[in-house]
Chain A
Amino acid sequence: MASYNLNINSKSYTVETTEGTSLLWILREHLGLTGTKYGCGIAQCGTCTIHIDGKPSKACMIEIDSLQDTQKITTIEGLSKDGDHPLQQAWVAAQAPQCGYCQSGQIMQAAALLESNPNPDEAEIKEYMNGNLCRCGTYLRIVKAIQLASQNNLAGR
C-alpha cells in the first residue's frame, strides 16, 4: 500500500492503494467518480476517457504511480459546473444517448476535439471519435451533437 495525491476536477484527493492500480479503479471505486466507466480495461472502447492536463486519456491504462500531483485530471463530473458545456447541451438537443453507458467517454473525447479543433468536419469528427465504442448505435446522433456544439460555440464567439 502507498499513498498518492491527485488533483481531480480542481480538488485534491489522497488515496491509499497498491502500486500499479489503474486510475480507473481509483476514480470509480475509491473516490466515487463513477461517471467514468469501465468497458474493456485495454484502451479499446473509450468509456473511461478523461482529460489529463486537457489531453484525452484512457483512465484504464494509467497506473497511479505514473501520475504527478501537479497533473490536472478532469472527469465528466468536472467538465462543466452545471452540466451545461456546449457539448452537453447539444447531446440533449440531439437526444443522443440510449443506454448512456459510453456517453461520458464520448463527451470527454468530443470536448478534447473541440478544444483542439473548434470546427471539425465530419471526417475529422469520425476519425477523432473512432476509439469510442457505442453498442446502442448512437454514433449518428453523436456526430450531429458535436456539429451542433461546434456551431453554437462558433456562433457564441
Chain B
Amino acid sequence: MEADTMMDKVAPIEIAQPQEASKSAAGREVVFETRDLGVLYGKSPAVMGVSLSIYQNLVTAIIGPSGCGKSTFLRSLNRMNDLVSGARIDGEVLYHGQDIYSDGVDPVEVRRRIGMVFQKPNPFPKSIYDNVAWGLRVLGMKDNLDDRVERALTQAAIWDEVKDRLKKGAYGLSGGQQQRLCIARAIAVEPDVVLLDEPASALDPIATSKIEDLMHDLKNEYTLVIVTHNMQQAARVADMTAFFSLERTETGGHGLLVEYDETSKIFTQPTDKRTEGYVTGRFG
C-alpha cells in the first residue's frame, strides 16, 4: 500500500516557509479542472464562472469574505451539493479529465475518491474505532481492519491520544480530537483528494495548529483543498490560493473567482485590487 510511506514526524514544516521547488504547480498533474463552473440554488446563483485547476499533492486554499460561495464551490467538487434540494450545476468539473457531473457518473463513487472534512466535527455516535472502521466496512476494505484503523489514526496524528480508548465513544473526545478523528475517518478509505471545509473554525488555537501541521504531512499522500476564512491559515498551509469575492448585483449577488495563484504571490503581489484589499485587511 502506498500509505506505508510514513511522514516525517521529527521536523514539522515551518509555517510561512520560503519558496521551494515543491510548492510550484508546474509539472504537477491536474486533479481538478473546473470550467466556467457555477452553482445555483433554485434560480439564484451562489457562485459563477469559476475556472481553475487544482494540482496533485498540493494544498489549495480557497479564501474570501462570507457569502462568496467558497464552501459551495468546495462542495461541488465531490457532489455534496446534490444533497441540497434545488441545487444546480453550470459548467464542468473535470476530475482527472472526467466530468463528475456527466450522466454515467455515480456520486457515491465520486465521494469515495474525494473525501471531505466538515466545519463542525461530526463524528458518528459510535466508538472511536468504529468511526474509522465504518467507512472501511461499507466500502468492503475489511482486510486488516485493525491495521487500517491504526494507520489512519496515526496519519491523522491522534493515535497516541486514543490508542488506549479505541472502544470508547467518540463524543468523549475534545473538539480538536474529534476533528482529527474525522480526518482519520476520511483518509482511512484511501481517497485521492480530501476537501476541508473550514476544518479549524470551531477549534481553539492549539487544536488549530495541530490540524495545520497535519495538513503539511498529509499533502505528501493526498491532494488537499481547504476553505478557510482565516487568511493567516491559508498563508501557513497552502501552496496555491484562490481568492473568491462577492459580486453584488441588483438581485442579490453571487461569488466569483477573482484571482488564483501561488500563495506567496496572492499575499505579497496580488494583481487584482480586490485581492489586495482583502489580504491587507482593508475589507472583508
- Do A and B pair up? The answer is no
Q: Which residues of B are at the interface with A, using a C-beta cutoff of 8 A? A: none
Interface residues of A, Cβ cutoff 8 Å to B: none
